Structure 1
Amino acid sequence: MTNHSETTGPSENGDFTDGPQPVGGSAHDTQITLRTPAELADALPYLLGYRPEDSMVLVALHDRGGRGRFGGRARLGIPAHPDDWESAARQLAQGLTTGSERRGSRPERMVAYVCQEPSPGETGRDVMRRLAPLAQLLRTECGRLDVPVIEALCVSQGRFWSYCCPADECCPPDGAPMGLPGTSVLAAAATYAGIQVRGTLRELRARLQPWESGAVPEQEAALDRAGMSLVPRILHDDSRAKVAEETLALAEELTKRYASAIPVSGIHQADLRDDALLCHDEAALLILGLQDRTTRDRAAAWMEGDKAAPVLRLWRALARRCVGSYHEHAAAPLTLAGWVAWSTGDDLEAREALAMALGADPDYLFARLLHHACNEGLDPESIRRCLRGERTENGPAGGARDVGATAPADPRGAHDPSAAPGSGRRRARPDGRPDPRRPRADGTRPASAGAGRGRTRPGSPGHDDGARVRAAEKTDPRGGRTGREDTPVRKGHSESDR
């Protein structure tokens, strides 16, 4: 069986993988033959790009020229209640099968995995027995679709069990130990190809989650102060552009500070160093300033070259500072982090950051469009070209024009000038009524909108973003909500539940 890796598309607790992209380059570069349950168990982290926890996983297999190849992969968190297992198994099987069919390659067979660590008082063998009905449901649901499961494995406590193999020699009742990380043939091939397996999704998301430390009150107080000073200025046409320039100048200064910082070893230590380089007031000014969608779009142009790495660290650090009642404000820095990661080839972090942005604000359309495009396996180059053009025309910090100026502002073909930032007009709803989330002509906001905390963000960024990426991403003209992968899966339970 030849390993044929494909891009992973996570949502909040579900990952869908489609779009062929062989490990190590072209399909002819690296071929790894997997023959035993042990080899299939060891391959799972390399198929997903991380080590799954509390997960049910399906891997599609295709027969190409008499040689089996891995196809798409799909993961869901294991629902806490067994009554939900059947619907979750059906969702997983149908999602992967229909996604593969949509790309013209229906799977011939599947490999199923259930992964969970023991609860207190349990052993790995207890987990295997408890999850046996779930593994059987996966086999049944795939069978309903005429896609047989040829192997079903349980991975727990560093061991694996096969639900299909009756031979005690290779699959003993007490389980067989997993290979040491990095020692398998597939691990050697992945290392040669420059592919790294992350830790767990929990560890990846920890880099992007708000602080839960004693510094939270200070940061929230700084955000309160910044909101009092910046929100009125952003909502006023005469001062909005000035705030944008100040925000981008501060971001430029901090990017240089991050680029010149002394390297440290270890991801956690590196994040602590980055947090120390950013004071509370600086973080607050940037977080509030990036709520303006035009400012955010200009910052999105910093996604390649020498600036990409330090600016990604900055966006992560800002996401960690969106504490307390400012949790929803993290949608902007998380979306920027996801865009930089995707643009630089890190699809896994991109999807996690964009899914977390949608978790912070499900209506943040820029994140939704990018998340959908990333899940669809589209090439970010078309968006990069658009941003490069803006950067070249307007200078390193970008110009005042919205990125969306290069794409149709309305999917139906008509440009709505009221959508332009700072136009002074309120965007109308489809029913003709004004949108209460938009500022009034005098720059004020309806009383119910608040003044800078909770759900309020100046300029309602994220609600008017389709113009910037629709043409490049080929999203649905109804607003980019095409396909299940575009919307985070909320059923079930996984390590992403917060």
Structure 2
Amino acid sequence: MTEPLRIASPSDFLELMPFLLGYTPENALVVHGITNVGLAGPVMALPLPADPTRWRPIAEAVAPEFIHSTRNRGIDILDVVVCLYRNPQPGQSPEATAHLLGHMADWMIDAFVNFGDAPVKLVLGIVGNQWWDYSCHWPGCCEGEPMPAGDHPESITAQLRALGRTPGRPSSEIANEYRPTHTNAARHRRVLDEVSADFLASNRTPRGRLIARQGTLDIIDGALKDLRNGNLIGDEPAARIILGLQDRRARDRALSSGPEEDLPYERQLWADLARRCVPPYTELAPALLTLFAWVAWRQGDTATARLALREAMTINSNYLLAQHLHQGLNQDVPVDRFLEVFGTTAVQDQAEDEAALRTL
């Protein structure tokens, strides 16, 4: 029988987090609930904004959201562990960064105390390769300690690796798959500028919108066929798909419900299009990120799906489909349930669009 993991220090929790999340967090807030049934309790993670003035409202919102979500799943939380990850800003020392995180630590403790449902056991700050324990009140203790190396045979990392578990990749490395870079940014911006005027003109009438919607889906079909044959999508078709998927019905009909062998090509397409949503077109990205996340979820890559959905909601906090999928992931809703709904909805929407086009 496998011996249970023994968490004996704050640094043990830091080693555990990349295994629980499926990725190594960076510039993030992570809340982990300890239950009476083991370590694999509920975990909530979200980006920590670069601007510290935005942190307090996040702290005040996270506590009730975390408690409500766990309560709705029938999970009883005994204690809460909060981990705050932040990379030092240019010209900022690790100590100065840790001092800033101390304010967030106080707000997180206050938020859970005010909510009155689960006590905060630990609040840890992780800056680069050092950690601070804001729950420790001994002067000079638990300040700027080195992160665990994980190569000691009795470390949490070594124990989990022996069980066949692997820590997740850094979140920034995962996000490179779908996040825009400076490479080709000017070209992508220029093409979106050129296509958007023509695209908007074609959507001015109800019939025009129906034709544009079907045109978007036809271009998607062609792009997927090209990817299956080893060909990349061109700039103009890519821009037309990005703009076309701002139409909710076009996006819903594009949601993956086909065979699993198509998923790698769909993932490649949505990631490519999301990377093309460079400023000032960043607000167009949530549709692509949500489609990408759904495919990643279908592939069993829930860590990437969560990060992409969080990115979509960071860009547009009211993007409902991203919210629904993220909630489904957090509540362990079977992917087949969403798959059935999306497949049925796509068939119904197509029939309605075809009927409407005949009457216009």
Whole-Å Cα distance in 2 between the matches of residues 236 and 150 of structure 1?
A: 58
Counterpart secondary structure, 2:287: helix
Distance in structure 2 (CA, Å) of the matches to 1:324 and 1:126: 31
Gaps of 5+ in 2: none
CA contact (8 A) 1:226 1:281 kept: no
Question: Distance between the aligned counterparts of 1:322 and 1:84, measured in 2?
Answer: 25
> How far 1:351 moved relative to its partner?
2.8
Q: Return 5+ residue gaps in structure 1 as ranges.
A: 1-27, 262-276, 391-401, 410-416, 426-440, 443-498
Q: Is structure 2 residue 302 aligned with structure 1 residue 332? A: no
User: 1:366-416: CA deviations, max 9, x gaps?
Assistant: 44433443343311212324566x7xxxxxxxxxxx5263xxx9xxxxxxx
- Cα distance, 1:39–1:333 mapped onto 2, change above 3 Å: same
Name the CA distance, whole Å, in 2 between partners of 1:318 and 1:79.
Answer: 24
Q: Which stretch of structure 1 is more off in the superposition, 204-213 or 334-343? A: 204-213
Which structure has the greater CA radius of gyration? 1
Once the two structures are superposed, what CA deviation does each residue of 1:264-305 show, in whole Å capped at 9, x if it has no partner?
Answer: xxxxxxxxxxxxx33313423443554565554454335652
Root-mean-square deviation (CA, aligned residues, Å) is 4.1
Cross-structure match for 1:382: 337
Shift of 1:159: 1.6
Note the C-alpha offset of 1:337.
0.8
Q: Does 1:38 align with 2:11?
A: yes
Cα distance, 1:162–1:362 mapped onto 2, change above 3 Å = closer
Distance of aligned partners of 1:250 and 1:60 in 2 relative to their CA distance in 1, 3 Å threshold: same
**What residue is the counterpart of 1:98 in the other structure?**
68
Question: Contact 1:79–1:88 at 8 Å: present in 2 too?
Answer: no
Higher relative contact order (CA 8 A, sep 6+): 1
Query: Residue 173 of structure 1: CA displacement?
Result: 5.7
Distance 2:151 2:264 in 1: 26
SS in structure 2 opposite 1:161? strand
Which of residues 343, 353, 357 is equivalent to 1:421?
353
Q: Distance in 2 between matches of 1:104 and 1:48?
A: 20
Residue by residue, what CA displacement relative to the aligned partner does 1:302-340 show, whole Å, maximum 9, x if unpaired? 565222122201110012223455444434332221110
Secondary structure of the residue that 1:63 maps to in structure 2? coil
Q: Aligned partners of 1:30, 1:251: CA distance in 2, in Å?
A: 51
Aligned to 2:346: 403
Where does residue 348 of structure 1 map in the other structure? Answer: 303
Change (3 A) 1:374 1:421: farther
Matched, 1:158 2:113: no
Q: 1:132 aligns with which of 98, 102, 119?
A: 102
- 1:166 to partner: Cα distance: 6.5
Q: 1:327 to 1:160 in 2, by over 3 A?
A: closer
Q: Measure the CA separation in 1 of the matches of 2:52 and 2:274.
A: 35
SS in 2 for 1:69: coil
The aligned residue for residue 266 of structure 2 is 311
- Which residue of structure 2 aligns with residue 176 of structure 1? 145
Q: What SS class does the counterpart of residue 25 from structure 2 fall into?
A: coil
Q: Deviations over 1:162-190 (max 9, x none)?
A: 3345689xx85653221236764336525
Name the CA distance, whole Å, in 1 between partners of 2:49 and 2:213.
Answer: 48
Q: In the TM superposition, what whole-angstrom CA distance separates every residue of 1:27-51 from its partner, at most 9, and x where no partner exists?
A: x988422112221222222233333
CA distance in 2, matches of 1:244, 1:358: 24
Give the drift of 1:250. 1.0
Indicate if the aligned counterparts of 2:19 and 2:165 stay in contact, CA closer than 8 A.
no
Change (3 A) 1:140 1:33: same
Deviation at 1:61, TM superposition (A): 0.9
Aligned length: 354
Q: Give the distance between the partners of 2:51 and 2:316, measured in 1 at CA.
A: 27
Pairing partner for 1:113 from 62, 80, 83: 83
Q: Is the 8 A contact 1:97 1:106 kept in 2?
A: no
Q: Hey, what's the Cα distance between the residues in 1 that align with 2:28 and 2:253?
A: 38
CA distance in 1, matches of 2:141, 2:317: 46
Which residue in 2 is equivalent to 1:89? 59
Equivalent position to 2:222, from 238, 250, 267: 250
> 1: distance between equivalents of 2:290 and 2:47?
23
Write out per-residue CA displacement over residues 185-242 of structure 1, whole angstroms, 9 at most, x where no aligned residue. 3365257545541212x44334323453455346633663486379739944895687
Task: Letter of the 2:328 partner, please give it.
Answer: A
Query: Alignment partner of 2:182: what SS?
Result: coil
Q: Classify the secondary structure of the residue corresponding to 2:229.
A: helix
- Shift, 1:158, TM fit: 0.6
Aligned-partner Cα distance in 2 for 1:137–1:81: 15
What secondary structure sits across from 2:6 in the alignment?
A: coil
Relative to structure 1, the CA distance from residue 322 to residue 422 in structure 2 (aligned partners, 3 Å threshold; closer, same or farther) is: farther
TM-score by length of structure 2 reads 0.77
CA distance, structure 2, for counterparts of residue 384 and residue 49 of structure 1: 23
- Cα pair 2:286 2:315 within 8 Å, conserved: yes
**1:373 aligned residue (328, 336, 339):** 328
Amino acid at match of 1:204: I
Q: Counterparts of 1:469-484 in structure 2 under 5 Å?
A: none
**C-alpha distance in 1 between matches for 2:4 and 2:66:** 24
